[in-house]
Amino acid sequence: MEYITLNNGLEMPMVGTGTNTYGKENHEYNAALTNEIPELLSALELGYRSIDAAIIYRNEELVGRVLAESTVPREELFITTKVPGDEEYISSKEATRAAIDNSLKNFQTDYLDLLLIHFPIDDKGQLQNTWEVFEEYYEAGKLKAIGVSNFGKHHLEELNAFAKVKPAVNQIQINLTEPNKDLLAVLKEEGIAPVAWGPMKAEAHQKEVLDEIGESYKKSGAQVLLKYQIQRGVIVIPKSHNRENQASNLDLFDFVLSAEDMKKIENL
């Protein structure tokens, strides 16, 4: 595994696994929860240590139970979860504290590695209150890093107007169909690490080129696409329910894309 050093000095794995359909019937986001989560068990067995969760996925408790019962020591795990922008969670500082405390309980841990605001909060007062609670838990050591998700440039500017602690990451959609180049440039300038959700998305003609590039490295087009993101400093959180695909998505550190191939992918 390779790691990126966040702007507060914390190291985060460059590859993690998403969990938004884990432990759900038919692997569907809105489906009922099951009591088992084999996809996470196989991910842990394969070596995944960065686990990306969220309150709105409804499966924090199940994910947390599996992590707590696994043989992987807590200090080797990097647990991320997210607080939604719903009134239930951001109507007051007390509501936000309750949300964080409940996540800590769900994960059976006394700290989270990364906590994100899941979506932009339009009300500036609520945004400030929410972030101040994040900072409070960060200063207390209950959060090792804090950040945001799905924030655009103007959302970051609103946050930076009062934030004492700069967000460590911004988790956004980054793939070949939604490259988000302008926002990536802003994040690089601000020293905020980009985390890509949906990193595997690509059109058919793009996949053909990725497959062609992969042949010379004896890698799949999907591996080439993930490597492209990692090689330019973008953290990826691909998700799969298939053990072979999980293994493939982690097998990215025995090759380096040439500058020519990096440019070719960038121009797709």
Provide the annotated active-site residues: 57
Residue written as token pair 């004896």: 218
Helices (H) and strands (E) in the chain, counts: 11, 10
Residues 6+ apart with CB under 8 A from 208: 221
The DSSP H or E segment spanning 235 is strand 235-236
Residues 6+ apart with CB under 8 A from 35: 23, 62
Beta pairing class for 11-13 and 3-5: antiparallel
Take residue 36 and report the two structure tokens written for it. 């088992």
Identify which of 180, 193, 238, 197 has the alpha carbon closest to the alpha carbon of residue 12.
193
Is the separation of the CB atoms in 241 and 27 below 8 Å?
Answer: yes
